Structure formats: structure tokens, C-alpha cells
Amino acid sequence: MMIAVTPFQTLRQIHQYRLKEVEPFIDGVILRTPMEQDDLLSWVRGLMQQGFPKEKIIIHSNLLLALKLGVRRIHFREMDPAAFETKKRHPDFSVSMSVHRVESIQQAMQHHIDFGMFGHLFHSDSKPNQQPRTLIEVEQALKVGLPLVAIGGINCQTVQRLSEGFRGIACIGSIFNENFENVQKLSKLWNERGG
């Protein structure tokens, strides 16, 4: 599984073009943006009108928006009670959550969250003053048993250094800041690992 995560900014037409371009290589996109609901609703509809599959759209935290769009994939912040309530009320939805501690991973499992996003694993421009997770932290997280998607500094070089056991990778910069050939190469490298 390879998931794109939008940069935390107002999404524009250029983001639609990029997602349409890389769509064959990704399994989903988390729309993490400060946009108002109505603006995001229009943007997502525009993306779908361009042929981007609704099944690959993952709404961030906004269940009402997901319901309006008929999207059945939603992602939440770490330990957000709304994630647990959403999974309970909509067991057919794919509900994911950011998880950065073993306790959060255990809670996510207890509430039947489908997968967690764990990181950051490598140096990341989005977290310049924070150290990446240690190898011990990664091993402890993977032992819990919740399917985990690696995030944070994932690119063509670092993907080859990921610990075995991750079920997917999530990327912001490697999707939106790199050229098309690098996205294609990253997808190939991940798939060669059995992703």
C-alpha cells in the first residue's frame, strides 16, 4: 500500500493534476488541509470529475464531509475518540489513525481501527526539530500487531532501509515535490519489497 498525504495547505488545481498523474501508483490519498468544508467539497468533486477514483480518497477527520461525498475511508489524529466512534457506527468504513506510541497502537487495535500511520521514521522537512523514531521504537510498534504504514522522510533511498513488517508507506514530499519518474521509482522499490 502506498498512500499520498496532501501538504497542509489550501489545495489547488495543481494538486489535482499531480494526484491524477500519480493515481496508478497510489492506493489512496489523505486530504490533510486547513480548507473550509465547502471549499474542500468542491475541490474533491473537481478531482473526481477528472477521473480520480472515489475509492482512493481518504478524508481527514471530517465524517460529515465523507458522508456527503460517499467516501468510505477516513483518517484521524492519534487517539481521537471520533475515530473509535466512527468505526463503531460505520464498521464498513476503512478507519485509520496516526499512531506514535505503543499505547496508541494498542488502543487502535482494541477499537478495530484498520491501520495506523507510524512515524516519523527518517528526517522529514515537516518535522525539522524532531528526531526520527529509534529502531527499538519501530520494533516495539511492529510487535503490537496492528497493520502499520510508515510515514516520515520516505523516499527512494530510505524506503530500502525500512524495517520489515510495515504494510505500507505514506508520503507527502515524495509525491508532491518530486518528479513523476521518482514517484514511479518509489512505487517500484516498495512493490519489490512485497508492498
Mean pLDDT score, 52-57: 98
Q: What is the pLDDT of residue 153?
A: 93
Mean pLDDT score, 9-19: 97
Give the separation between CA 128 and CA 125, rounded to whole angstroms. Answer: 5
Averaged confidence pLDDT in the chain: 95
Q: What is the pLDDT of residue 79?
A: 96
The predicted-structure confidence for 159-170, as pLDDT tens digits, reads as follows: 999 999 999 999
Lowest mean pLDDT among 21-30, 69-78, 125-134: 125-134
pTM for the full predicted model: 0.95
pLDDT beyond 70 at 195: no
The predicted-structure confidence for 114-132, as pLDDT tens digits, reads as follows: 999 999 999 877 777 788 9
The predicted-structure confidence for 81-116, as pLDDT tens digits, reads as follows: 999 999 999 999 999 999 999 999 999 999 999 999
